[in-house]
C-alpha cells in the first residue's frame, strides 16, 4: 500500500457512500467511507459513550483480503501500537487498535483543517503568490516540535523507540482552522523495535520529492532523515518553488542524490541570510552536517523569529486559515450540523432496539440543541422511537447526504443540507404526530419590504420573508436577525414555550441609509465611493453597518483614501485634504482618523494681504500617464485582507498585482475589524510597495 493510496486521517471524500452505511461497527458508528486502497479503507465515524460523550474519529479498517497476510498484520499492529504511545499537540493521535467483524482496525483523531498542499491550492485560487513568512515559520516550528517528541520517545523500560516518520511532506503536515499544526501518518512510522520486515517494496515508502539522500539511495535512515524533509518543506514554503522536481521519479532521485541544491537566495533575491543558513543546514547531504536534533532546528528558527520580531502566532494562523477557506467553512458548518442530527437518529434506533446506553439526550448537548436548521428533530425521533421499516429510509437519507459531500480537506462537508433536512423531517413526521411531547414550535416572519434574509442564532437560513419556519425548539431563546440591503438590520429575541409554541414577527424595516460628506480645501477634488464617481462631495443612500471605501483625487495631488462604517441614519463627515504630488508619496488614513474627523470643521482661511502683482498663469495640467505597473502589499503585526479599487486580493502579503498607471485606492482590513487605507500612485513598468502597520 503506497502512502498516497489512503490519506491517513481521512482528508478526502469519495463521490459515493459505501454500501450499507451508516452502520454500527463495535463501539463506533461508521458514517461514510472516506477513502479506500489496496490494503485498507478509511471511514468517518462517531464514537458515543455514557453521559452524552460524543467524538468524531477516523477508522482505518484492514481489508478482508489482507487478513491472511500475517506479516503485514503484525507489522501494522506493531506500528499502530507505537504510534498510539505518541501524545503531543503537533501529532495526530491514535486512540484505539482493535479487532471486530473479522478484521483489524485503528481509530485515530479527527482533524478539522487542511494539509499544506490543499492550502497552496487554495492560495492559487485566490491569486495569492506568496506564503506568509510568519505562517511558514510557525508551521515548520510545529513540525519540528512534533518530530523531536517522536524521535526522543522511549518505552516504559526507558529503551529508545528510535521512531522515524519517513514521510514528512506537504500532504502529511496539517494546519487546523484554529491555527494548530499537526503531523499526520505517524501510524506508518518506522521504529527501532519493528517486528518482521521493516518495509515491503511499494507499501511503506515516503514521497520521492521529500526524501533525504540516504532514503533515496535505499540506505537505513534515522531521525535526521525527517529533519532533511522538514528542510525541504521550509525551503518550498519560503521560496514558493519546488526543490526536487524531475521529469519522473528517477530524475527526482538523481536531483536529490547527485546534484547540488540551489540556495533560497538563488530562487528569491533578498532572501534573509540568517534564514537561509537554517534551511541549508537542514538540507546538508551529509547527515552529520545536518541538525542532529529537530529541537536544534526549532531553536534556531525561534531565535530568528525573535531577532526579526516576526508575528508568529497560532491565533493569527487560525484567522488566516478561516479567511482563506471562509466559503468552504460556511458550507461545512451548515451541513455537519444536519449530518450530526441524522447520526442521532441512527443512535436512537440502536438504543430503541438494544436498550444500550447510546440513547441521545439532546438537552445535554448545548452545541446541538440550538441548531437553527431542523433543530429538535433528533430529539423528537429519540423520544418517540422509530418503526422497523423506517431505519432503511433514514440510512438512505444519510447515504444520500454524504454522497453529495465533496473533496478537498480533512472531512470537508459540502452542502447537502436541504436533502438531509428534508429526509430527517420526513422520517420524523409520524413520530411527532404520535408523540405530542416532542416539543417543537413555529415562527411566522413578515417584513415590509419583503425578501429580507433571516438569521437564527447567527446562522443564515435559506428562507426569505415572508416565511413560516417550523421545527424550532421550545424553551430556548432564539436570536432573530433580519437583513436587507439599504435597510437597518432588525433584531428580535423569541422564546417559544409549551404554552405559546407559535411566534410571530411582523415589522417594518427602516430605510436606514448612510450619508457621507467630504470636506476638503484642496481645489478640484473628486470623490469616489465604493468605486463609483460622485457628483460633488456628498454621497447619499449608502448601506448601514457595511464597510465603504472613499477615494479623493485631484490633478497634481497624491490621492487619499479612507474606509468607514456608519450606523443607520447616520451622516458621516470626513476631512480629507490632499498633499502635492511627489514621487513615492502616499497618504494613509485609518478608521480612527476618519472617525475623529466626523465633527471636524474645514479650516478657516488665513487672512492676509497679497502684494499687488500680476497673477501668475495657472500651471499646465500634467500629461496623462499610460502603461501599467505592479503593486506589492504587506503588513506588520499580523495580516489583513487586501482590496485595490474595491477588488479583493486576499490576505497579506500580496505581490505582483498588475494595475494601470495612475492613482489607486488600497484598503486592508484585519479580522478584528480594524481597517487602514492608502492611496498609491502606480508608475509605468515600476513596482510600488505599501506596508500597513497593524500594531497601532
Q: What is the pLDDT of residue 608?
A: 38
Q: What is the pLDDT of residue 379?
A: 29
Q: What is the pLDDT of residue 672?
A: 62
**Grid cell at residue 389:** 421499516
**CATH code for 3-109?**
3.30.200.20
- Range of weakest confidence among 219-223, 281-285, 611-615: 611-615
- Range of weakest confidence among 157-171, 247-261, 359-373, 489-503: 359-373
92-106 average pLDDT score: 87
What sign results for the dihedral spanned by CA atoms 565, 568, 573, 577? positive
Higher pLDDT pick, 77 / 295: 295
Q: For domain 439-509, say whether CATH 2.60.40.1120 is its number.
A: yes
pLDDT tops 80 at residue 588: no
The Cα–Cα gap between 533 and 535 comes to 7
pLDDT tops 50 at residue 199: no
- Range of weakest confidence among 268-282, 387-401, 431-445: 387-401
CATH fold for domain 514-596: Immunoglobulin-like (2.60.40)
- Range of weakest confidence among 2-11, 130-139, 482-491: 2-11
Q: Where in the chain is the domain with CATH 2.60.40.10?
A: 628-693
Nearest to 447 by CA among 467, 425, 475: 467
Q: What is the pLDDT of residue 206?
A: 64
CATH fold for domain 113-324: Transferase(Phosphotransferase); domain 1 (1.10.510)
Higher pLDDT pick, 679 / 335: 679
How do beta strands 453-456 and 477-483 pair?
Answer: antiparallel
**Grid cell at residue 421:** 433536512
Q: What is the pLDDT of residue 555?
A: 83
Q: Residues with Cβ < 8 Å from 301, sequence gap 6 or more?
A: 137, 140, 141, 144, 278
pLDDT tops 90 at residue 149: yes
Percent of the chain at pLDDT > 90 equals 23
The arrangement of secondary structure in 628-693, i.e. its CATH architecture, is Sandwich (2.60)
List active site positions. Answer: 167
Q: Residues with Cβ < 8 Å from 93, sequence gap 6 or more?
A: 86, 87, 108, 109
pLDDT tops 80 at residue 625: no
How do beta strands 514-519 and 571-575 pair?
Answer: parallel
Amino acid at each position: 500500500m503506497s502512502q498516497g493510496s489512503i490519506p491517513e486521517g481521512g482528508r478526502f471524500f469519495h463521490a459515493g457512500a459505501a454500501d450499507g452505511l451508516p452502520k454500527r461497527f463495535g463501539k463506533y458508528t461508521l458514517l461514510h467511507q472516506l477513502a479506500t486502497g489496496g490494503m485498507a479503507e478509511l471511514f468517518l465515524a462517531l464514537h458515543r459513550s455514557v453521559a452524552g460523550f460524543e467524538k468524531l474519529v477516523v477508522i482505518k479498517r484492514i481489508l478482508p483480503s489482507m487478513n491472511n497476510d500475517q506479516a503485514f498484520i503484525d507489522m501494522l499492529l506493531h506500528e499502530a501500537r507505537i504510534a498510539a504511545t505518541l501524545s503531543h499537540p503537533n501529532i495526530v493521535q491514535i486512540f484505539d487498535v482493535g479487532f471486530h467483524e473479522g478484521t483489524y482496525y485503528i481509530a485515530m483523531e479527527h482533524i478539522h483543517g487542511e494539509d499544506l498542499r490543499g492550502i497552496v491550492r487554495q492560495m492559487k485560487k485566490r491569486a495569492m503568490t506568496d506564503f506568509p513568512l510568519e505562517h511558514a515559520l510557525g508551521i515548520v516550528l510545529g513540525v519540528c516540535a512534533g518530530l523531536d517528541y517522536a524521535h526522543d520517545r522511549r518505552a516504559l523500560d526507558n529503551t529508545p523507540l528510535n521512531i522515524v516518520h519517513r514521510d514528512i511532506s506537504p500532504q502529511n503536515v496539517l494546519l487546523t482552522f484554529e491555527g494548530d499544526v499537526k503531523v499526520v501518518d505517524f501510524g506508518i512510522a518506522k521504529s527501532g523495535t519493528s517486528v518482521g520486515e521493516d518495509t515491503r517494496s511499494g507499501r511503506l515508502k515516503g514521497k520521492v520529492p521529500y526524501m533525504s539522500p540516504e532514503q533515496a539511495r535505499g540506505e537505513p535512515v534515522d531521525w535526521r532523515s525527517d529533519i532533511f524533509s522538514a528542510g525541504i518543506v521550509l525551503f518550498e514554503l519560503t521560496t514558493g518553488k519546488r526543490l526536487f522536481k524531475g521529469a519522473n521519479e528517477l530524475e527526482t532521485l538523481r536531483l536529490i542524490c547527485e546534484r547540488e541544491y540551489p540556495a533560497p537566495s538563488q530562487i528569491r533575491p533578498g532572501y534573509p541570510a540568517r534564514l537561509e543558513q537554517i534551511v541549508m543546514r537542514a538540507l546538508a547531504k551529509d547527515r552529520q552536517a545536518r541538525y542532529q536534533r529537530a529541537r536544534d532546528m526549532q531553536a534556531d528558527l525561534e531565535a530568528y523569529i525573535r531577532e526579526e520580531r516576526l508575528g508568529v502566532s497560532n491565533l493569527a494562523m487560525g484567522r488566516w486559515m478561516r479567511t482563506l477557506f471562509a466559503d468552504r467553512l460556511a458550507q461545512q458548518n451548515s451541513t455537519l450540523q444536519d449530518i450530526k442530527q441524522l447520526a442521532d437518529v441512527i443512535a436512537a434506533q440502536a438504543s430503541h432496539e438494544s436498550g444500550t446506553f447510546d440513547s441521545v439526550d439532546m438537552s445535554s448537548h448545548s452545541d446541538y440543541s440550538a441548531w437553527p436548521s431542523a433543530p429538535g428533530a433528533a430529539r423528537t425521533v429519540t423520544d418517540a422511537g422509530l418503526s422497523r421499516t423506517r431505519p432503511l429510509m433514514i440510512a438512505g437519507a444519510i447515504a444520500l447526504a454524504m454522497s453529495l459531500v465533496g473533496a478537498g480537506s480533512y472531512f470537508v462537508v459540502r452542502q447537502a443540507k436541504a436533502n438531509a433536512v428534508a429526509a430527517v423531517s420526513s422520517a420524523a413526521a409520524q413520530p411527532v404526530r404520535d408523540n405530542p411531547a416532542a416539543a417543537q414550535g413555529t415562527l411566522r416572519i413578515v417584513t415590509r419590504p419583503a425578501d429580507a434574509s433571516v438569521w437564527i442564532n447567527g446562522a443564515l437560513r435559506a428562507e426569505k420573508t415572508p416565511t413560516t419556519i417550523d421545527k424550532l425548539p421550545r424553551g430556548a431563546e432564539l436570536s432573530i436577525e433580519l437583513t436587507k440591503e439599504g435597510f437597518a438590520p432588525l433584531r428580535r429575541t423569541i422564546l417559544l414555550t409549551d404554552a405559546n409554541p407559535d411566534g410571530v414577527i411582523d415589522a417594518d424595516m427602516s430605510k436606514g441609509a448612510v450619508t457621507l460628506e467630504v470636506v476638503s480645501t484642496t481645489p478640484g477634488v473628486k470623490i469616489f465611493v465604493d468605486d463609483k464617481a460622485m457628483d460633488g462631495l456628498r454621497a447619499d443612500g449608502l448601506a448601514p453597518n457595511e464597510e465603504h471605501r472613499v477615494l479623493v483625487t485631484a490633478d497634481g495631488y497624491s490621492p487619499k483614501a479612507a474606509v468607514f462604517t456608519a450606523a443607520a441614519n447616520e451622516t458621516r463627515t470626513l476631512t480629507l485634504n490632499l498633499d502635492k504630488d511627489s514621487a513615492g508619496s502616499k497618504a494613509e488614513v485609518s478608521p480612527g482618523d476618519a472617525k475623529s474627523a466626523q465633527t471636524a470643521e474645514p479650516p478657516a482661511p488665513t487672512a492676509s494681504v497679497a502684494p499687488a502683482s500680476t497673477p501668475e498663469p495657472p500651471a499646465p495640467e500634467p500629461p496623462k500617464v499610460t502603461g501599467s505597473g505592479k503593486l506589492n502589499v504587506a503588513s506588520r503585526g499580523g495580516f489583513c485582507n487586501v482590496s485595490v479599487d474595491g477588488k479583493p486580493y486576499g490576505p497579506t502579503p500580496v505581490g505582483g498585482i498588475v494595475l494601470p498607471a495612475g492613482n489607486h485606492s488600497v484598503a486592508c482590513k484585519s479580522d478584528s475589524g480594524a481597517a487602514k487605507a492608502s492611496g498609491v500612485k502606480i508608475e509605468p513598468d515600476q513596482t510600488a510597495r505599501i506596508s500597513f502597520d497593524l500594531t497601532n
